[in-house]
């Protein structure tokens, strides 16, 4: 599985010659202070507030039937928004000529093979479904990791040796840790039961076993997470003493993500954990690709003039939203539709792993 370096924000990072010296300067932000705080840094807290407030209203309490499941209006919107952001990656992978030429086989052949395998085999379909559930957790962790790496870069600070691995570990602790240790763990492992439909009884026992041992799992993950966090802080203290600095924007982003993840995944207040976590992830992603690829998006819709950029971005959101509505309301209606839905999901996770990289310097 490729290392997910960073999401769709690389195109907004200028050369080091224009990076501000101070972590408080406007140049230390990816786009600008106001934009970054709303869409990146404080977006987890925004999602947490929305989930808690709206979840206590009829939007979060009244249930509707969809595909045999009972869901609230807030859950339905969250599902559409989440599915919509998955489709947005194609405006970078397939719609950007320079990127498309670089990975042509992965963008043309891989989707056909993946869709065909799921369409022809129910076993493959269910296996990919379970994979998508857990890959999503890893992928979401690495989006915050990528943003943090970019803030370090924008601050002009030197990168300490081993800092990249340290940051990746901390983001997994902050995002995935509460999933394993908290109230939402059962909702994640429950999906293994899908494998019963294709005769894989061994894996169908995972939910019951996980539930029986969840206390031990939670204690182990919590202890390991606390130890790693202390280790991380001690390492950065040693880096600071050696003359290295850390971006204040990155610290604020990690703090807001940590609070939101602990409250949402750990306690699942009002049953809104999935809405909260998926909302800020998709919110960040739309902002990232909308800003980074705004010129390419305008070209795709034949609205290349700067004055028409807003119209192009509106069309971008509408197209992605159209897919989100289809995926949420009809994506599981047939075997072929579900295969297509999972193809888009897996490609989103996979493509983000190699078409955006701070380490490889994929900056335009």
DSSP for 267-315, written as a single string: H-GGG-HHHHHHHHHHHHHHHHHHHHTHHHHHHHTT--SGGGHHHHHHH
- 13 within domain boundaries: no
Tell whether 222 is covered by a domain: yes
Six-digit token string for 123: 């076993």
- Phi, psi (rounded to 5 degrees) for 333: -75, -30
- Structure tokens belonging to residue 58: 């009829």
Q: Region 85-95: what's the mean pLDDT? A: 93
- Residue written as token pair 């290392």: 3
**pLDDT band (50, 70, 90) for residue 108:** very high
**Strand, helix or coil at 364?**
coil
The backbone torsions φ and ψ at residue 9, rounded to the nearest 5 degrees and listed phi first, read -130, 0
pLDDT at 15 over 60: no
| List of residues 6+ apart from 172 with CB closer than 8 A | 138, 141
Domain range for 185 is 30-352
Number of domains in the chain: 1
Is residue 359 scored above 80 in pLDDT?
Answer: no
Q: Please, are residues 138 and 4 in contact by the beta-carbon 8 Å criterion?
A: yes
Predicted local distance difference test score (pLDDT) of residue 67: 73
Pick from 135, 230, 231: nearest CA to 179: 135
- Supply 16's token pair: 């080091």
Q: What is the pLDDT of residues 111-121, one digit of tens each?
A: 999 999 999 99
Specify if 3 maps to a domain. Answer: no
Q: Stretch 280-292: mean pLDDT, rounded? A: 94
Mean pLDDT in residue range 249-271: 94
Domain annotation covers residue 17: no
Residue 22 lies inside a defined structural domain of this protein: no
Distance, C-alpha 102 to centroid of its chain: 24
What share of the chain has pLDDT > 90, as a percent? 60
Query: Which pLDDT score is estimated for 23?
Result: 43
Q: Specify if 21 maps to a domain.
A: no
> Left (φ > 0), alpha (ψ -120 to 50) or beta: where does 94 sit?
alpha
How much is the pLDDT for 1?
33
* pLDDT at site 98: 83
The answer to whether the beta carbons of residues 57 and 316 sit under 8 Å apart is no
- Those residues whose C-beta lies under 8 Å from the C-beta of residue 293, and which sit 6 or more positions away, are 8, 11, 91, 92, 95, 96
Q: Is 150 within a domain?
A: yes
Question: Is 336 within a domain?
Answer: yes
Q: What does pTM read for this prediction? A: 0.87
């Amino acid at each position: 599985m490729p290392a997910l370096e960073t999401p769709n924000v690389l195109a907004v990072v200028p050369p080091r010659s224009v990076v501000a010296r101070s972590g408080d300067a406007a140049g230390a932000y990816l786009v600008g202070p106001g934009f970054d705080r709303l869409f990146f840094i404080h977006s987890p807290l925004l999602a947490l507030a929305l989930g808690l407030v709206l979840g206590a209203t009829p939007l979060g309490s009244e249930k509707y039937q969809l595909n045999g499941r009972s869901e609230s209006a807030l859950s339905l919107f969250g599902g559409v928004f989440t599915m919509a952001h998955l489709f947005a990656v194609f405006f970078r992978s397939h719609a950007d000529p320079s990127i498309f030429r670089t990975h042509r086989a992965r963008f043309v052949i891989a989707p056909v093979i993946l869709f065909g395998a799921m369409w022809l085999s129910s076993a493959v379909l269910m296996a990919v479904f379970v994979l998508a559930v857990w890959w999503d957790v890893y992928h979401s962790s690495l989006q915050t990791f990528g943003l943090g790496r970019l803030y370090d870069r924008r601050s002009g600070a030197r990168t300490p040796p081993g800092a990249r691995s340290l940051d990746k570990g901390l983001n997994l602790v902050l995002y995935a840790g509460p999933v394993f240790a908290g109230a939402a763990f059962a909702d994640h492992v429950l999906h293994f039961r899908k494998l019963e439909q294709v005769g894989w009884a061994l894996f169908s026992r995972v939910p019951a076993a996980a539930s029986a041992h969840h206390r031990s799992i939670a204690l182990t993950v919590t202890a390991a997470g606390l130890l790693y966090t202390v280790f991380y802080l001690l390492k950065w203290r040693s880096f600071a003493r050696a003359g290295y600095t850390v971006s204040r924007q990155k610290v604020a982003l990690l703090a807001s993500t940590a609070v939101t993840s602990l409250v949402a995944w750990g306690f699942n207040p009002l049953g809104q954990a999935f809405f909260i976590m998926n909302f800020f992830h998709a919110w960040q992603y739309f902002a990232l690709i909308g800003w980074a690829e705004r010129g390419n998006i305008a070209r795709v819709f034949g609205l290349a003039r700067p004055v028409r950029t807003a119209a192009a971005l509106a069309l971008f959101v509408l197209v992605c939203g159209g897919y989100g509505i289809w995926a949420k309301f009809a994506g599981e209606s047939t075997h072929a539709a579900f295969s297509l839905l999972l193809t888009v999901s897996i490609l989103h996770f996979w493509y983000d792993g190699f078409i955006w990289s701070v380490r490889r310097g994929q900056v335009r």
